[in-house]
């Protein structure tokens, strides 16, 4: 008898900590993992970067961390959690941040108190306003995945990832079309709060500014577990990084960074108490060293960018000199950290510390909100009058012009952006070339010809211009 019990106990111990295969949810493989006694983590998918929901059994009831983008998943997860923990007294839900793949399923826990940073509410409202665009994007993504599968060029893992994305996209579209009313947090906080659950205390810290403006750290003190949401990881478990892939200083206000640093530092100081770091998606892992190295990186950026501005460096000089390679060689290739994020961080801090207005952002907002007709002309007038107020580059203006021309199919609007680009960069052959293309798209071939000639005059090596001139010569005959 004793012997048999020992075998069972050993077997259970061996199983604990393993990701159990628990059937499927909506055709996606279900995974359940015990992180510690009374702490489980649940997710779907073998390859996609899906949200991992965690649940902690406490004296005051079950505390759930995050929901997913598909409430059907959360309904299934709730049952799985109850079964795993052997109880069903759900008491609290905590959202790590406001992204919809962490809040869409909140309604499944409408009977609980839902706790989050105060900015989660506005983020949830913002994503509600984007529903139409999301349906379009998801529909296009399904086609992209299908095309890739049909190409026969995917590895088995890539094929699984594509198939799983199609399921997720399909469910997301179905969910968006049902236009559900969001379930907002019922209790929010600004700086920090403690949730006392008897045998476990949850310390919640504002940590916005690198992933979203609403991120928090959640430290389950007696469990020794720190939940870090989508802010970071330092090891990938799959080739589809997803949400954790962009560590950058880009979504906070200047006043947020000191708070983020203070809270992060406080947790680093208590590093000995933290036994496990748990990111918000299952396919990234985080170590104590990764947690610290990202803090050091953030600290360096926050100090060095303003110092470079003080020293009179231009934005372009900073981007050229302050590279990952040169300044943080140990982080090159580290998950979530790359040249793009580095550039975003420098740009964001540059804008904050110089007080300049980003023209790229202003144009992007106009395209997104469909306010180009009303807002572009006054912006253009102000830019030409007060240049130093604005942050812009030729490449940025060119890119926005092409978004209008090729993606938005609005040649008349694109023409105005390229016209401004030419006014700001009168010696640029490329400004004439881009403008010519928009003019051609509006139907004025003789004018397009003139502009291409000017572009080639400025740069005889402009092969695109030479080709267009030949084409227009035939068309104008
Ligand atoms: Zn996120």
User: Going residue by residue through the chain (477 aa), what tens digit of pLDDT does each one get?
Assistant: 444 444 444 444 334 334 445 699 999 999 999 999 999 999 999 999 999 999 999 999 999 999 999 999 999 999 999 999 999 999 999 999 999 999 999 999 999 999 999 999 999 998 887 888 889 889 999 999 999 999 999 999 999 999 999 999 999 999 999 988 999 999 999 999 999 999 999 999 999 999 999 999 999 999 999 999 999 999 999 887 787 888 999 876 777 899 999 999 999 999 899 999 999 999 999 999 999 999 999 999 999 999 999 999 999 899 999 999 999 999 999 999 999 899 889 999 999 999 999 998 899 999 888 899 999 999 999 999 999 999 998 888 999 999 999 888 899 999 999 999 999 999 999 999 999 999 999 999 999 999 999 999 999 999 999 999 999 999 988
DSSP state of 281: B
Question: Distance, CA 212 to ligand 1 centroid (Å)?
Answer: 7
Rounded Cα gap, residues 189 and 119, in angstroms: 9
Question: Distance, CA 476 to ligand 1 centroid (Å)?
Answer: 53
Q: What's the confidence (pLDDT) of residue 17?
A: 38
Q: What residues contact residue 287 under an 8 Å CB cut-off, 6+ apart?
A: 234, 235, 277
User: CB neighbours (10 Å) of residue 443?
Assistant: 9
> What are the percentages of helix, strand and coil residues in the chain, rounded to 5?
55, 15, 25
Sign of CA dihedral 244, 248, 251, 254: positive
Rounded Cα gap, residues 432 and 443, in angstroms: 16
Pairing of strands 113-117, 90-94: parallel
Q: What's the confidence (pLDDT) of residue 22?
A: 66
User: CB neighbours (10 Å) of residue 339?
Assistant: 12
By CB atoms closer than 10 A (0-12, 13-18, 19+), residue 36 is middle
Please, are residues 194 and 217 in contact by the beta-carbon 8 Å criterion?
no
What's the count of helices (H) and strands (E) in the chain, helices before strands? 17, 17
> In this structure, what are the phi and psi dihedrals at residue 358, rounded to the nearest 5 degrees?
-80, 120
pTM summary value = 0.84
Question: Distance, CA 408 to ligand 1 centroid (Å)?
Answer: 27
Q: What residues contact residue 377 under an 8 Å CB cut-off, 6+ apart?
A: none
Question: Distance, CA 207 to ligand 1 centroid (Å)?
Answer: 13
Using CA atoms, how far residue 162 sits from 68, 358, 428, in Å, is: 19, 36, 42
Question: Distance, CA 179 to ligand 1 centroid (Å)?
Answer: 21
Query: At 115, is the secondary structure helix, strand, or coil?
Result: strand
Q: What's the confidence (pLDDT) of residue 2?
A: 42
Query: At 417, is the secondary structure helix, strand, or coil?
Result: helix
Q: What residues contact residue 236 under an 8 Å CB cut-off, 6+ apart?
A: 283, 284, 335
Question: Distance, CA 82 to ligand 1 centroid (Å)?
Answer: 26
Question: Distance, CA 214 to ligand 1 centroid (Å)?
Answer: 10
Name beta bridge partners: 36: 39
Q: What's the confidence (pLDDT) of residue 218?
A: 98
Q: What's the confidence (pLDDT) of residue 266?
A: 97
Question: Distance, CA 402 to ligand 1 centroid (Å)?
Answer: 29
- Kindly state the helix (H) or strand (E) to which residue 469 belongs, with its residue range: helix 463-476
Tokens representing 341 are: 């994020």
Question: Distance, CA 321 to ligand 1 centroid (Å)?
Answer: 30
Question: Distance, CA 242 to ligand 1 centroid (Å)?
Answer: 9
Q: HSE of 310 in the Cβ direction (CA atoms, 13 Å)?
A: 5
């Amino acid at each position: 008898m004793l012997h048999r019990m020992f075998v069972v106990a050993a077997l259970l111990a061996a199983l604990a900590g393993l990701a159990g295969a628990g059937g499927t949810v909506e055709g996606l493989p279900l995974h359940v993992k015990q992180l510690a006694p009374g702490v489980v983590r649940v997710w779907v998918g073998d390859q996609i970067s899906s949200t991992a929901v965690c649940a902690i059994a406490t004296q005051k009831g079950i505390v759930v961390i995050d929901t997913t983008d598909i409430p059907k998943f959360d309904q299934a997860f709730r049952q799985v959690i109850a079964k795993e923990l052997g109880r069903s007294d759900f008491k609290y839900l905590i959202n790590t941040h406001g992204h919809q793949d962490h809040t869409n399923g909140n309604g499944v826990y409408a009977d609980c108190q839902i706790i989050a940073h105060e900015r989660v509410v506005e983020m949830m409202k913002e994503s509600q306003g984007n529903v139409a665009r999301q349906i379009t994007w998801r529909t296009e993504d399904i086609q992209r995945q299908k095309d890739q599968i049909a190409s026969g060029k995917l590895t088995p893992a890539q094929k699984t990832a594509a198939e799983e994305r199609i399921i997720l996209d399909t469910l997301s579209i179905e969910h968006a079309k049902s236009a559900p009313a969001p379930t907002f947090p019922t209790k929010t906080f600004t700086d920090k709060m403690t949730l006392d659950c008897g045998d476990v205390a949850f310390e919640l810290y504002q940590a916005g500014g690198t992933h979203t403006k609403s991120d928090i750290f959640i430290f389950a003190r007696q469990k020794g577990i720190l939940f870090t949401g989508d802010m970071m990881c330092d090891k990938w478990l799959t080739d589809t990084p997803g949400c954790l892939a962009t560590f950058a200083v880009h979504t906070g206000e200047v006043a947020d960074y000191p708070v983020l640093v203070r809270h992060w530092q406080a947790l680093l100081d208590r590093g000995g108490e933290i036994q496990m770091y748990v990111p918000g998606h299952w396919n990234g892992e985080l170590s104590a060293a990764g947690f610290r190295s990202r803090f050091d990186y953030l600290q360096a950026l926050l100090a060095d960018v303003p110092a470079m501005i003080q020293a009179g460096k231009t934005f372009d000089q900073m981007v050229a000199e302050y590279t990952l390679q040169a300044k943080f060689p140990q982080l090159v290739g580290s998950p979530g950290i790359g040249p793009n994020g580095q550039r975003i961080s420098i740009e964001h801090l540059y804008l904050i510390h110089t007080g300049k207005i980003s023209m790229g952002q202003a144009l992007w907002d106009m395209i997104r909100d469909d306010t180009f007709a009303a807002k572009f002309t006054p912006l253009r007038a102000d830019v030409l009058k007060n240049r130093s107020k604005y942050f812009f580059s030729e490449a940025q203006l060119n890119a926005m012009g092409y978004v209008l021309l090729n993606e938005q199919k609005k040649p008349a609007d694109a023409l105005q952006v390229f016209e401004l680009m030419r006014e700001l960069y009168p010696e640029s052959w490329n400004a004439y070339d881009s403008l010519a293309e928009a003019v051609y798209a509006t139907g004025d071939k003789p004018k397009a010809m003139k502009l291409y000639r000017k572009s080639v005059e400025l740069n005889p090596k402009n092969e695109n211009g030479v080709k267009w001139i030949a084409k227009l010569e035939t068309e104008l005959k």
